[in-house]
Amino acid sequence: MERPRSPEHGDYASTLALQLSKKVGVPPRELAAALADELSRAAGVKSVEIAGPGFLNIRLDAAAAGQLARVIVEAGAEYGRSERLAGEKINLEFVSANPTGPVHIGGVRWAAVGDALSRLLRATGADVGTEYYFNDAGSQIDRFARSLLAAAKGEPAPEDGYGGAYIAEIASEVQARRPEVRTLDDAAAQEVFRVEGVALMFDEIRSSLRDFGVEFDTYFNEKDLHDRGELDLALNRLRQQGHLYESEGATWLRTTDFGDDKDRVLRKSNGEWTYFAADCAYYLDKRERGFERVVIMLGADHHGYIGRMKAMAACFGDDPERNLEILIGQLVNLLRDGAPMRMSKRAGTVITLEDLVEAIGVDASRYALARYSSDSPIDIDIELWTRATRDNPVYYVQYVAARTAGVARNAAEVGLVPGDGDAFRPELLDHEKENELLKALAEFPAVVATAAELREPHRVARYLEESVAASYHRFYDNCRVLPLGDEEVTDLHRARLWLNNATRTVIANGLHLLGVSAPERM
């Protein structure tokens, strides 16, 4: 069963007769006729037509169609939720930026999309653990510490270091916390700046993400893998699987057996671990924690990462198509006056979460980033996304949230209340625009399930705009909800109020899945 695009094809369409024809040995149209005869006797079915080689076009009577408004209102926040992915335990890792600077706009995209995806997966019954992976050691952190030390001494940033006002701010804060750092030699001072600077930077990252509405279940430090001996554990597991070999004093993983373009070094000839060894240990750690599916969201420059990671999962004996998903996000540009912004006031070289929120706000930022397929580049036009007009997508949707709430308030002021469900007369919702809106609202559970299964939150945003908001505006323009002047309140007014409130429920539930507010006033 599916909702046909054209209203001429009814409320529902079915290809069941075509699918079953060969199995039961009956011509499709003959089988369709038998099915139509049975369906036409069902309560709530107005008519069943046979089209083409055996399609069934089904129309509901107004009472059956209108009953959906009551179902939605009474379900409230539960409407749209399902158990489609019940039993799946999913680890969802996103953002995962090292604490060397504010979250840049590429990471912000994953914050918005990743959080929306976690909400969708949970709404469809999955057991989801969200995770932020970081490393507070290594070459990036060394450069960060040297940059802080240089700023504290009033010197230019190292050639390979980090610039921007935030470096000077953190350096100043470290000195306020640890005034003795000024008396230490460079090596000791750099270590103080490393420890204290990383802690301050990571606190800022967590705080900015929290203000953006994104919290993680787990913040995982790569250092813990080393301290707990998990790299050795992963190495032993891969050796048991028969995929390791020694060459030129180094330990290699034979990933070419599973489609990688070359084998990968896990331990160098000098005994040092490679970054890929930590990736292997981290993947195994997630699987050992009981996550059946590991989903990792990465930036546009990580396409080459997919092959080696899939091969690594296979080396552990997993099904790389079942147990590991890698999603790649494309670039984001923030446009001002039609031109990309290249510089941040605070970070110096990249546009940050702070810059985006300051320009268009949290709701518009989250909606804009989640509105597009993650494998498509985005241009976010500041002028468009701050405009209080219908061509601003988030304003267009939130305006329906506010308008439906306003209609409910105004209705209460004139004594119009929905009443209990038994007093609701759904058969009165027989106007073309009422039927169109009901059809749009009925699609929500399927949209949520599909968006979760395909890992595509943008489907929810587009549905809210193109189906619900558009249909509601047409309903509002053609079907008066409130009595006019001294007009008596009728059952039709009450029925339309139920439909208005059902729309508010769907809009609010959909925006919640995107991490966006559903205002009662605008």
**pLDDT per residue as tens digits for the range 72-82:** 999 999 999 99
Q: What mean pLDDT do residues 474-482 have?
A: 97
Which of 99, 305, 77, 287 lies closest to 196, judged by CA?
A: 99
Question: Could you read off the pLDDT of 254-279 as tens digits, one per residue?
Answer: 999 999 999 999 999 999 999 999 99
Residue 378, domain member (yes or no): no
Q: Is 90 helix (H, G, I), strand (E, B) or coil?
A: strand
- Quote the tokens at residue 472: 């509601």
- Using pLDDT thresholds of 50, 70 and 90, give the confidence band for residue 14: confident
The mean per-residue pLDDT over the stretch 334-350 comes to 80
CB of 134 within 8 A of CB of 178? no
Q: Could you tell me if 15 and 37 lie in one domain?
A: yes
Say if residue 50 is in the same domain as residue 68.
Answer: no
> What pLDDT was estimated at residue 29?
87
**234, 117: one domain:** yes
Q: What is the pLDDT of residue 421?
A: 76
Name the phi and psi angles at 325, rounded to 5: -125, 135
Helix axis angle for 105-123 and 444-454, nearest 10°, is 120
User: CB count, 10 Å around CB of 185?
Assistant: 7
> Which residue, 303, 328, 353, sits at the end of a domain?
328
Residue 361 lies in a domain: no
Residue 451's pLDDT band, with cuts at 50, 70 and 90, is very high
Tally of structural domains, the chain: 4
Same domain, 252 and 119: yes
SS3 of 443, please? coil
Residue 26 has pLDDT above 90, yes or no: no
Vertex 408: Cα angle to 485 and 435 (nearest 5):
90
Residue 314 sits in the same domain as residue 402:
no
Tell me if 2 is assigned to some domain.
no
C-alpha span between 202 and 388 (Å, rounded): 35
> Domain limits at 19?
7-60
Distance CA 207, CA 212 (A): 9
Runs of H (alpha helix) within 48-136:
62-75, 105-123
Average pLDDT over the chain, rounded to whole? Answer: 93
What's the CATH number where 409 sits? 1.10.730.10
Residue 447 and residue 459 in contact, taking contact as beta carbons nearer than 8 Å = yes
pLDDT band at 223 (very low <50, low <70, confident <90, very high): very high
Band the pLDDT of 55: cuts 50, 70, 90: confident
The CATH number of the domain where 35 resides is what? 3.30.1360.70
- Residue 358 counted as domain residue: no
Residue 344 has pLDDT above 70, yes or no: no
Q: Which of 59-73, 85-99, 414-428, 431-445 has the lowest mean pLDDT?
A: 59-73
Least confident residue range of 14-18, 334-338, 369-373 = 14-18
CA distance 371 to 379: 12
SS (H, E, C) 261-286: CCCEEEECCCCCECHHHHHHHHHHHH
The answer to whether 233 touches 281, Cβ cutoff 8 Å, is yes
- For residue 437, the model assigns a pLDDT of 97
383 in a structural domain: no
The pLDDT of residue 52 is: 86
Q: What is the mean pLDDT of residues 210-227?
A: 96
| DSSP secondary structure of 174-231 | HHHH-GGGGGS-HHHHHHHHHHHHHHHHHHHHHHHHHHTT---SEEEEHHHHHHTTHH
User: Where does a domain end: 179, 211, 243?
Assistant: 211
Query: How much of the chain, in percent, has pLDDT values that exceed 70?
Result: 97
CA 83 to chain centroid, in Å, comes to 18
- Examine the domain organization and report whether 24 and 105 are in the same domain: no
Q: Pairing mode, if any, of strands 339-340 and 332-336?
A: antiparallel
pLDDT value for 217? 98
The pTM of this model reads: 0.91
Q: Is residue 373 part of a domain?
A: no
Q: Which of 20-29, 197-206, 248-257, 261-270 has the lowest mean pLDDT?
A: 20-29
Of 272, 295, 310, the C-alpha closest to 118 is 295
Q: How many CB atoms lie within 10 A of CB 167?
A: 25
Q: What percent of the chain has pLDDT over 90?
A: 81
Please tell me whether residues 103 and 182 are part of one structural domain: no
On whether both 223 and 199 belong to a single domain, the answer is no
What per-residue confidence (pLDDT) applies to 46? 72
List, as own/partner pairs, every contact residues 225-232 make where C-beta atoms lie below 8 angstroms and the sequence separation is at least 24, other chains included.
Answer: 225/278, 225/281, 225/282, 225/285, 226/273, 226/278, 230/281, 230/282, 230/284, 230/285, 231/273, 231/277, 231/278, 231/280, 231/281
Residue 345 has pLDDT above 70, yes or no: no
Give pLDDT, residue 32. Answer: 79
Residue 520 domain flag: no
Say whether pLDDT at 1 is over 80: no
Distance CA 492, CA 426 (A): 9
Same domain? 68 vs 99: no
Are the C-beta atoms of residues 217 and 129 closer than 8 Å to each other? yes
Question: CA geometry: angle at 3 spanning 29 and 19, to 5°?
Answer: 35
In this predicted structure, what is the pLDDT of residue 343? 64
- Under a CB-based contact definition with an 8 Å cutoff, are residues 311 and 255 in contact? yes
Structure tokens at 357: 């929120």
Neighbours of 386 (CB within 10 A): 13
Strand pairing category for 45-51 and 55-60: antiparallel
Q: Is 512 exposed, middle or buried (0-12, 13-18, 19+ CB in 10 A)?
A: middle
What is the rounded CA–CA span in Å between residue 282 and residue 280? 5
Residues 102 and 234 in one domain: yes
> Which of 211, 229, 247 lies at the terminal end of a domain, its last residue?
211
Instruction: Give the domain CATH number at 280.
Output: 3.40.50.620
pLDDT in tens, 148-197: 999 999 999 999 999 889 999 999 999 999 999 999 999 999 999 999 99
Residues 493-516 have a mean pLDDT of 98
- Asked whether residue 398 falls in the same domain as residue 509, the answer is yes
Establish if 177 belongs to a structural domain. yes
pLDDT of residue 115: 98
Domain match, 164 and 249 both: no
Q: Which band of pLDDT confidence, cut at 50, 70 and 90, is reported for residue 342?
A: confident
